[in-house]
Amino acid sequence: MSDDEAQEEKLDLTTPEVVTKYKSAAEIVNKALHLVVSECKPKVKIVDLCEKGDAFIREQTGNMYKNVKKKIERGVAFPTCISVNNTVCHFSPLASDETTLEENDVVKIDMGCHIDGFIAVVAHTHVIQDGPVKGRAADVVAAANTAAEVALRLVRPGKKNKDVTEAIQKVAAAYDCKIVEGVLSHQLKQFVIDGNKVVISVTNPEMRVDDVDFEENEVYAVDIVASTGDGKPKLLDEKQTTIYKRAVDKNYHLKMKSSRFIFSEINQKFPILPFTARALEEKRARLGLVECVNHDLLQPYPVLHEKPGDLVAHIKFTVLLMPNGSDRITSHALQELQPTKSIEDDQEIKTWLSLGTKTKKKGGGKKKKASKKGDPMEAECADGASNGATNQDASEA
3-state helix, strand, coil in the chain (%, to 5): 35, 25, 40
pLDDT band at 91 (very low <50, low <70, confident <90, very high): very high
Average pLDDT of 24-33? 98
pLDDT band at 74 (very low <50, low <70, confident <90, very high): very high
Domains of the chain with bracketed CATH: 3-237+305-389 (3.90.230.10), 242-301 (1.10.10.10)
Q: Find, among 344, 337, 293, the residue nearest to 315 by Cα.
A: 337
Q: Find, among 123, 120, 125, the residue nearest to 143 by Cα.
A: 125
Asked if 274 and 244 count as a contact pair (C-beta separation under 8 A), the reply is yes
pTM: 0.87
Whether 347 has a pLDDT exceeding 50, the answer reads yes
For residues 348 and 369, give the distance between their C-alpha atoms in angstroms, rounded to a whole number: 27
Q: What is the pLDDT of residues 213-226, one digit of tens each?
A: 999 999 999 999 99
Query: In which element (H, E) is residue 134 found?
Result: strand 133-134
pLDDT at position 319, please? 98
pLDDT at position 361, please? 53
Q: b/e per residue, 167-185, with b = 16+ CB within 10 A? A: bbbbbbebbebbbbbbbeb
Q: What is the pLDDT of residues 227-283, one digit of tens each?
A: 999 999 999 988 899 999 999 888 899 999 989 999 999 999 999 999 999 998 777
Average pLDDT of 379-389? 36
For residues 274 and 221, give the distance between their C-alpha atoms in angstroms, rounded to a whole number: 15
pLDDT band at 118 (very low <50, low <70, confident <90, very high): very high
